[in-house]
Structure 1
């Protein structure tokens, strides 16, 4: 099933005395990149969180936001760094004296300084929380995948519609192509008669040879056959279960190459107009599949 690279996944749980919320936002990216934003105290679980996400997603930039709130305080411990607090107080008092200020640091000012007061949880809480984080990351990634698949289905439907339009235009080109040869013959014969003004009879065999050479140069049969093959393979891939974004992009390039060749070889106004229509549709398809995983 086709998957979009954009999406959003979410998972939340209250357990082990914590409320944990994990949100994953995904956007287009050439490769797979996971960026985890979480409190520093829980970075021990970062690698495992990235691993479970990458097991489910193969392309895109994924920003993982983790919010951890403690709802119970059992098993926690408060650590006061008295030496650091004394150094901060001494430095502040010294600065105040030099500046001639009477204001002094209060107790609330001191304990609010970074690293003066720390709250730690028991080791067993850390291990339980780590497992909880990894499981929730997996749940959020699964939720993201569901959204990506839903968006991918819409993309596939849109692209199939454009492929159908390309097929219809290609059939119009196929119908027009044989007429180009007869028109080449008429133009060549008329031009020769104008140049020779009836002074010399035109040899039918020689005329047919020249027409055949021009027709061969203008032949687009091979390009039309390859286009049919590309259309079929492209549509088959839309139902694949593995990531196919890069393959789809390759086939769009190949289709565009065949269409350009048709335009340059046919030398016909009607076919040239069809070529412009096909190129516009291919560009629309290309823009859509840039969002495919």
Structure 2
């Protein structure tokens, strides 16, 4: 794929990606996706225009070329959400490249992303979230493993942690106090309050855990003492949700969604919830307002005399 791009253009792409990492804190997976999307774009332009794509040809991309690229993606059955993501990567690169090389990027920046229905978070009800924690605790034959799984899921729901953040905790984070310093996506740090129920769940797990805990050890351990694999938590929550009759959307990440939605419905401030979740953009957190509105309309339609 890199044969379709000149060394100078490839160096420019690498420079842009390095800037996304250093200045914007983009995660490794995000950078990999950006690189793949841009190399695919350049490979298409090479075939479409019949010439290798160096810096000069890239600067000559037209509105017609952009339409041809997006039509190509649609013919390949690339979904609207994925097309929008790819276009976002191309725009970002071109905005930076045009500023550096001094050309007009209007043809690329004016390309319109296809509309798509944003997926709303699928939280659990408060009762279902509690039932999930209780059910997870009794799945394992060993009591310490059951306590471990319950402690992890309690942190997801009680503190709004991502599963990677919960499993990234180490002995250095002990004993859990009233707050945790969490390093999330892109290396962004945030302070998260720890509710008493979460502290208690972790204490119970530590009392039962058969392995020694040093500063450098993972807090949550697998059966043989190594760091706990996220796949095992997904597996145990899947078993619990089947027993409880919950939908397939009742995943570990749904516990984090539930944390945010329940805070919002209780009157939590949107910006404060953004900070607790570690979202870089408020627009990401605003998805929870839509969830709350949907639930509100369901209650209204079920309860209001004139709505029935």
TM-score (norm 2): 0.24
Q: Greater strand share, 1 or 2?
A: 1
Q: Which has the larger radius of gyration?
A: 1
Could you state the TM-score of these two structures normalised by the residue count of structure 1?
Answer: 0.25
